[in-house]
Amino acid sequence: MHGIVACEAYIPYHRLERAAISTSLGGGVVSGARSVASYDEDATSMAVEAARSVLRTVPTAARPRRLYLATTVPPYLDKTNATVAHSALALDSGALAVDMCGGVRSGAGAFLAAAEASEPAMALLSDIRTGLPGSADEREGGDAAAAVLFGPGDSDTPVLAEVVSAAAETEEFLDRWRAPGDLASRVWEDRFAEHVYVPLAMDTLSAALKKADLTPGGVDHLVVCGLPRRSVRRVAAGTGIPADRVVPDLAEVIGNPGTAQLGVLLAAALRRAGPGDTIALLLLADGATAFILRTTAQIGRRRPAAPLAGGGGAALRYPTFLNWRGMLAREPPRRPDPEPPAAPPAYRSRAYKHAFTATRCTRCGRVSLPPAQVCFHCGAIDTMVSHPMARAHGTVATFTVDRLAFTPHPPMIAVVVDFDGGGRFRCELTDADASQVAIGDPVEMTFRRLLTADGVHNYFWKARPVRRAGGET
Amino acid sequence: MASNGIRDRVAIVGMSCTAFGERWDRSADDLLVEAVHGATESASTNLDDIDAFWLGTYLSGVSGMTLSRPLRIRDKPVTRVENMCVTGSESLRGACYAVASGAYDVAMAVGVEKLKDSGYSGLTRASIPGDGTGGTLGTTTAPANFSLLGPAYAAKYGVHPRELKEVFTRIAWKNHANGARNPRAQFRTPVAASTIARSPLVAGQLGVFDCSGVSDGAAAAIVVRAEDAHRYTDRPLYVKALSCVSGDATGNVDPSYDFTTFPEVEASAREAYRQAGVHDPRAEIAMAEVHDCFTVTELVLMEDLGFAERGTAWKQVLAGTFDLTGELPVNPDGGLKAFGHPVGASGLRMLFECWLQLRDDVPADRRIAQHGRTLGLTHNLGGGPGECVSFVSLVGTEPND
């Protein structure tokens, strides 16, 4: 049996209260908040964070041999983005990594490709959604990623749910579109989209249920996704499946994270499903796609973590949000422009730079970050072995707040981290409040985009405060 | 194998130092011409008498031609050296060893920096293609690197951050007071402690007034064999010790380093004291010019150079021990803080203050009380906590003392 063996969502730390938008721009007050990818995150880095959650407890044998990354905001064109994730996750070089970029519908394609793969495969769904200031897309959008790992299952990593059936309807019509390079999408009148989407979605769900030999009454958990909000609501209310079986869409707390929504809400469904439950996933995007899943008796073995654990932090100021999304330029510090990494040194150090792999001296046991040929402690040469540090936890040995350094979000917080089990690393602290840092604070590592220069995204690692569920540090 | 030192084998017989500051009307070439001719005049000699040159500059030029071109020096060797903020002192080391070896009779050490042409705040680094991870220093600026010392020092010695800030303020106040009396200094106005304490933060606890001046300037020294010194001057300055340590850069890698000290400074000081036969630096040295790139640096240096016991320098600072009129005057010329910090020139600027003070060539209002002591110390540091290059020299007016 090939099925879902792990599924996790990643919701970035920052939130924008919708009221903050109307405070600045006027207009009616809208309730709730949306999640916001930090200035140092993008679709790839968030996908990596979601994937790291999935792979944390997965044994080597179950690690993916195929990686499909779906997003509407690929950080690179021409160059594959999934290879960055592949490198950050230290996957075997024999594992395939490809992008499925463009429309929200790509997420369904990545999910289906992973579900139907003949070997362990992971779908990474990641998105940053916004629009012009004051738009519905800005207000209702959200930023998130999800990772869904499929595999044959074994006693360590059992199949939690299998895909029983799938169905799709494809339709070409203008409901939303965006030219490459544009910061915001354009949408047609939503009543037109509703006219096309609702019957398509109903037909698709019916087809998938029929293939699975089910009726709407047999569905225990219904997930309806998609950016056309009006259509999604109509469909969710009109399938004949009782309202209490519809998985809440998290719109009030994170907004709609586009391509990632399918995975984020699947994780929510898997969190509440019991053994033998039927989950229907329906996506409205350029047609409709439906998947019918059935949970196994092992569903309780590995529930997705609560998606808001550690999130819901610092309420963001609206101008900061606009700045992060490229809508509001700020005066840079009077410092040299940052330089992009050079290709050959970045290639040589990819195990360190992307996967945060250190070296450990086999003679004295000391861990060296960055990797070294000569041991800093015992001086031995070439006695090093690779030593993964991406999951290591540590504490702040000392710190500073740099108000002069170049950063898209000043001030830069710098910490010296001493890791449990050895190793010291000096880096930036992210998702943190400059006034709250102290010696002894517990931190963990996170994969981030440090900066972009000459079109090169400089991915590397930062520390972040270790947070418990509920957003407390 | 041993480090033997060259105690009393060479002497400084002429020096000069330009005014430091925002020299908008002077190029690096102009500053070099001024410093080199000032030094030859000071030694009552001329350029033809100099056999070889060591030029220190961090970012203001490459190759020896940075010096030979503007001065039209013909058929002579010029060695351009760079060792971060130790650059100026590195040029002195080269010149001294060249003369001590017998290779040359007369050598000149020159340092220059033209920082104010970049338009940037603070120092910048040379651009070297990298992997984007920032190495072990990360992407933080110099004030941020040094400000890492603050929380660690406060935690280790139980000093309240507010108290520590007072110590930083006292150091800046002292160096500004000293600089105000120095006609060559970049900042010539005394600054009230309250102004220093309230200045906008740059990094950590360090405010604008805790940071050294970014400036342009040049300085030069003429080095000859000790036995030849009196042919040039009645009052030469003998080189007692030259010590340089290039750190192994483990502080940002090895958790055993605690960010309250510069081990490289401690090692270079120990070596310098050994070369010069100094046993109790605080009692034996008349003055010290140390690398106060930031106020917190000067605090920690007082301990690393052996001027105060570990964990006590902050009390000594507040007690005025290192004031112009204190027991051991530190940075009587205003230091990097008030005199300014044109990187390649700074080491030689420090030597210039020893040259003036130890030879009683300063006006009474800024003259230190030597109390029979004849030694001066200069110290440079490049890099930051955890990984730095450190230089210590000792010079004195008496040979074989």
Whether B107 maps to a domain, the answer reads yes
φ, ψ (nearest 5 deg) of residue B388: -150, 165
Q: What pLDDT shows up at residue B1? A: 76
**Active-site residue, B244 included:** no
Answer yes or no: do B131 and A353 touch at CB < 8 A.
yes
User: Helix, strand, or coil here: B88?
Assistant: helix
Q: What pLDDT shows up at residue B401? A: 52
Burial of A452 (0-12, 13-18, 19+ CB in 10 A): middle
Minimal-distance CA residue of chain B relative to A352: B133
Judge whether B20 and B340 are in contact, CB under 8 Å. yes
Residues B252, B343, single domain; the answer is yes
Residues B230, B266, single domain; the answer is no
Residue of B85, B293, B354, B388 marked active site: B85
CA A413 to chain centre: 24
Whether B275 maps to a domain, the answer reads yes
Take residue A256 and report the two structure tokens written for it.
């709609």
CA contacts within 13 A on the Cβ side of A112: 17
φ, ψ (nearest 5 deg) of residue A113: -60, -40
Residues B349, B369, single domain; the answer is yes
Q: Is the pLDDT of residue B135 over 90?
A: no
Q: What pLDDT shows up at residue B136? A: 65
Strands A96-101, A66-71: pairing kind: parallel
- The shortest CB-CB distance from B129 to any of A345, A400, A458 is to A345
Per residue in B278-337, pLDDT tens?
999 999 999 999 999 999 999 999 999 999 999 999 999 999 999 999 999 999 999 999
Distance CA A221, CA B7 (A): 86
Residues B99, B146, single domain; the answer is no
**Domain containing residue B270: CATH number:** 3.40.47.10
Distance CA B109, CA B42 (A): 14
Query: Does the domain made of A3-324 have the CATH classification 3.20.20.140?
Result: no
ipTM: 0.93
Percent of chain B residues topping a pLDDT of 70: 99
User: Helix, strand, or coil here: A194?
Assistant: helix
Residues B30, B152, single domain; the answer is no
* Strand ranges, E, within B281-359: 285-289
Residue of B176, B291, B341, B379 marked active site: B341
Residues B179, B285, single domain; the answer is yes
Is A379 within 8 Å of chain B by CB?
Answer: no
Residues B288, B150, single domain; the answer is yes
Q: Which of A432-436, B33-37, B61-65 is the least confident region? A: A432-436
User: In A333-412, where does DSSP find H-type helix?
Assistant: 343-348, 350-353
CA-based nearest distance B128→chain A, Å: 9
Judge whether A95 and A117 are in contact, CB under 8 Å. no
* CATH topology for the A343-465 domain: OB fold (Dihydrolipoamide Acetyltransferase, E2P) (2.40.50)
Distance CA A211, CA B58 (A): 74
Judge whether A442 and A417 are in contact, CB under 8 Å. no
Minimal-distance CA residue of chain A relative to B202: A403
Residue ranges of chain A assigned to CATH 2.40.50.840: 343-465
Q: Is the pLDDT of residue B381 over 60?
A: yes
Residues B206, B342, single domain; the answer is yes
CA-based nearest distance A377→chain B, Å: 8
Answer yes or no: do B132 and A427 touch at CB < 8 A.
no
Whether B243 maps to a domain, the answer reads yes
Is A467 within 8 Å of chain B by CB?
Answer: no
Per-residue pLDDT of chain A (473 residues; tens, 9 = 90+): 899 999 999 999 999 999 999 999 998 888 999 999 999 999 999 999 999 999 998 898 899 999 999 999 999 999 999 999 999 999 999 999 999 999 999 999 999 999 999 999 999 999 999 999 999 999 999 999 999 999 999 999 999 999 999 999 999 999 999 999 899 999 999 999 999 999 999 999 999 999 999 999 999 999 999 999 999 999 999 999 999 999 999 999 999 999 999 999 999 999 999 999 999 999 999 999 999 999 999 999 999 988 665 456 778 999 999 999 999 998 887 778 888 999 999 999 999 999 999 999 999 999 999 999 999 999 999 999 999 999 999 999 999 999 988 888 889 999 999 999 999 999 999 999 999 999 999 999 999 999 999 999 999 999 999 986 443 33
Residues B97, B161, single domain; the answer is no
A372 contact residues in B (CB cutoff 8 A): 253
**For residues B63-74, average pLDDT:** 98
Residue ranges of chain A assigned to CATH 3.40.47.10: 3-324
DSSP B83: B
Judge whether A414 and A463 are in contact, CB under 8 Å. no
Q: How many domains does chain B have?
A: 2
Q: What pLDDT shows up at residue A470? A: 42
Domain that holds residue B356: 142-210+238-396
**Active-site residue, B17 included:** no
Nearest to B153 by CA among A398, A394, A436, A414: A398
Whether B66 maps to a domain, the answer reads yes
User: Helix, strand, or coil here: A82?
Assistant: helix
Whether B126 maps to a domain, the answer reads no
CA-based nearest distance B298→chain A, Å: 18
Burial of A407 (0-12, 13-18, 19+ CB in 10 A): buried
Neighbouring CB atoms inside 10 A of B145's CB total 27
Residues B163, B296, single domain; the answer is yes
